[in-house]
Amino acid sequence: MGRQPIFDVQGDVIAYELLFRGSVDAVAAGRQDTFATSTVMVNAFTEFGIREVAGDRLCFINLTREFLIGEIALPFGPEQVVLEVLETVRMDDEVVAGVTALAEAGYRIALDDFVWGSGHEVLFSLASYVKLDLLDGDLSRLDEVVAACRQYPNIKIVAERLETEEQLAIAERYGMELRQGYALSHPQVLTVASLSPSRLRRLELVGALSAEEPDVQKIVSIIASDPPLSLRVLRASNSVAAGHQNRVSSVRQAVVMVGLPSIRQWALLMVLDDAGTTSEEHMLGVLTRARLCENISTWFGASSDGAFMAGVISGVAQLLQIDPISMIEQFPLAPAIVAALTDGSGRLGRVLRAVDSYEKGEFGTFDLAGQYMDAVRWSTLALSHSKLAAV
User: Would the pLDDT of 138 be above 90?
Assistant: no
Rounded to whole angstroms, the maximal C-alpha distance in the chain is 80
Question: For the chain, what is the domain count?
Answer: 2
194 lies in some domain:
no
251 lies in some domain:
yes
As a whole number, mean pLDDT of residues 84-106 equals 94
**pLDDT band for position 207 (cuts 50, 70, 90):** low
Whole-structure pTM value: 0.62
Domain that holds residue 368: 199-390
The pLDDT tens digits for 271-329 are 555 434 455 677 778 888 989 999 999 999 998 888 988 888 888 888 777 788 877 77
Whether residues 209 and 355 fall in one domain: yes
Whether residues 172 and 268 fall in one domain: no
**pLDDT band for position 47 (cuts 50, 70, 90):** confident
Whether residues 163 and 270 fall in one domain: no
Q: What is the pLDDT of residue 276?
A: 42
Query: Which of the listed residues 142, 168, 189 is the one where a domain comes to its end?
Result: 189
Whether residues 79 and 113 fall in one domain: yes
The pLDDT tens digits for 316-370 are 888 777 788 877 776 777 889 899 999 999 999 999 999 999 888 876 677 888 8
Q: What is the pLDDT of residue 145?
A: 94
Whether residues 277 and 324 fall in one domain: yes
Nearest in space to 87 (alpha carbons), one of 58, 117, 42: 117
User: Would the pLDDT of 148 be above 70?
Assistant: yes
Q: What is the pLDDT of residue 390?
A: 41
Q: What is the pLDDT of residue 245?
A: 56
Whether residues 227 and 250 fall in one domain: yes
CATH number at residue 169: 3.20.20.450
The pLDDT tens digits for 78-87 are 989 999 999 8
Q: What is the pLDDT of residue 199?
A: 62
Whether residues 183 and 205 fall in one domain: no
Query: Which of the listed residues 159, 189, 219 is the one where a domain comes to its end?
Result: 189
Q: Among 144-158, 231-245, 271-285, where is mean pLDDT lowest?
A: 271-285
**pLDDT band for position 202 (cuts 50, 70, 90):** confident
Whether residues 155 and 289 fall in one domain: no
User: Would the pLDDT of 388 be above 50?
Assistant: no
CATH number at residue 282: 1.10.3210.10
Adjacent-strand bridge partners of 13: 7
User: Would the pLDDT of 239 be above 50?
Assistant: yes
User: Would the pLDDT of 28 be above 60?
Assistant: no
Q: What is the pLDDT of residue 222?
A: 85
Query: Which of the listed residues 158, 189, 220 is the one where a domain comes to its end?
Result: 189
d(CA 120, CA 97): 13
